[in-house]
Every structure is written in C-alpha cells, then in structure tokens.
Amino acid sequence: NAGVMQNPRHLVRRRGQEARLRCSPMKGHSHVYWYRQLPEEGLKFMVYLQKENIIDESGMPKERFSAEFPKEGPSILRIQQVVRGDSAAYFCASSPQGPRSNQPQHFGDGTRLSIL
Amino acid sequence: DAKTTQPNSMESNEEEPVHLPCNHSTISGTDYIHWYRQLPSQGPEYVIHGLTSNVNNRMASLAIAEDRKSSTLILHRATLRDAAVYYCIPSGNTGKLIFGQGTTLQVKP
C-alpha cells in the first residue's frame, strides 16, 4: 500500500515564476492537508481539503497561494510569482476520514522548494 | 488551541528506555493527544495517540496523566533510528495539527 506521494521532491524556481506541487494521498484517503516548514522553523498548517472542497484555508497566505483537490488526480498546491521567502519544505498529509474521527494523518516526504 | 511544553532536547543510550515528557495544561476535554516524529529530511511520522487511557503500539507507549495536563511518550528500547524530533500535539476536530518546537532526541551508540 503506497504511502503519500509528493512530487517533485526538489523544485527550483526563479523569482516571479510559478511553482506547482503535487500530492497523491494514500489509497482510500479523501482528506488532504498541506503544511509548510520554513528553514529553522516548525511545521505550519496551510490548508485542509476534501475532494473538490476547501474545508479550512486559515493558514494560507492571502495572495499568490492556492490549493485544489479535484475529483480525479492529485491535490495541487500552486504558488504564483514566487519570492525568496517561499523557499521551504512543503508537506502533504492525508487521512481516510475527517478530523472528527481522530485518525492520524499520514505524511509524504515533502517537496523542497528553492527560489533563486 | 492547547499550548504544549516539551524539553528542547534529550539524550539516550542505545538499547535503553526513553521517556519524553509533554505538558499540555490547557488541553480541552475532547482533544486527543497525538505524538508524531520527524526524522532528518523526511516528513512527520505518526507514532501514537490517546485520549485518557494509556496506549501501547508496536512503536511506543503513551502514558497520560489522570488530569490529562501532561503525557509521556515511552520508547522501550531506543535505537539509532529513533533519533528524531518528537512532537506532542493535542488535536481537536479541526484537522489542523499545531506543531511546536518538539524535543530533539539524540541516541548514542
């Protein structure tokens, strides 16, 4: 049973370009969460999605960042017009049921985004 | 969101038990206590969680104080592969895991 798959593992972009990070949840999981870990800092929640719906985006920066989890295919975290401060490790997690079930979240190994 | 206090770092010898403490005095009555760990260059890994009773699984044991204001993660025999940052996270029903600074565990051979 494959775990949470994130790609690419490493992504390099120049300032002003777009970054697209993909996350395929574990089989049977319909809940996806994105977290960001800035250098020398802890992980911060960004957004929680359930198939085709954004449930909680309270951790998302107000501009340039968006997330989707379509009916078919992986979840995508999109960063437009990247800046140096976007350099970080972005982690995706999934769970089979919603938070009220208190089931654990299963994490991928992240995408490390570097902005030149 | 409940605040947590964990030691910044701890050391252990290989093959010995490790007790990792966590204070969460503002935890709400319905929050579960989750423990995750993060090995270098990897994503967080679920370790264990519980509500009131002590819990055991193949990775660790979780001892929860009767008043639920603190808990202790117990690794029964530390190995070099257990060297990681350990996070204690009281988790409600929002899906939002709040990671603190955690405890960096070093395991000496």
Q: What are the chain B neighbours of A91 within 8 Å (beta carbons)?
A: 43-44
In this complex, the residue of B49, B96, B100 whose CB is nearest that of residue A48 is: B96
d(CA B52, CA B29): 10
Which among B66, B105, B69 has a CA at the least distance from the CA of B87?
Answer: B105
Predicted confidence (pLDDT) at residue A99 exceeds the cutoff of 90: no
Per residue of chain B (109 residues), give pLDDT as tens. 678 999 999 999 999 999 999 999 888 888 899 999 999 989 999 999 999 989 999 999 999 999 999 999 999 999 999 999 999 999 877 888 999 999 999 999 9
Q: Alpha carbon of B63 to those of A44, B10, B29, B56, B92: distances in Å?
A: 27, 18, 17, 9, 19
B43 chain-A contacts, CB cut-off 8 A: 4, 91, 93, 107-110
Classify each residue of B47-84 as buried b or exposed e, where b means 16 or more C-beta atoms within 10 Å of its C-beta.
bbbbeeeebeeeebbbbbeeebebbbbebeebeeebbb
d(CA A5, CA A106): 10
Tell which of A107, A109, A111, A112 to mutate to test the B interface (max B CBs under 10 Å). Answer: A107
**pLDDT of the residue at B92:** 77
Helix (H, G, I), strand (E, B) or coil at A14: coil
Measured from the Cβ of residue B26, the count of other Cβ atoms closer than 10 Å reads 12
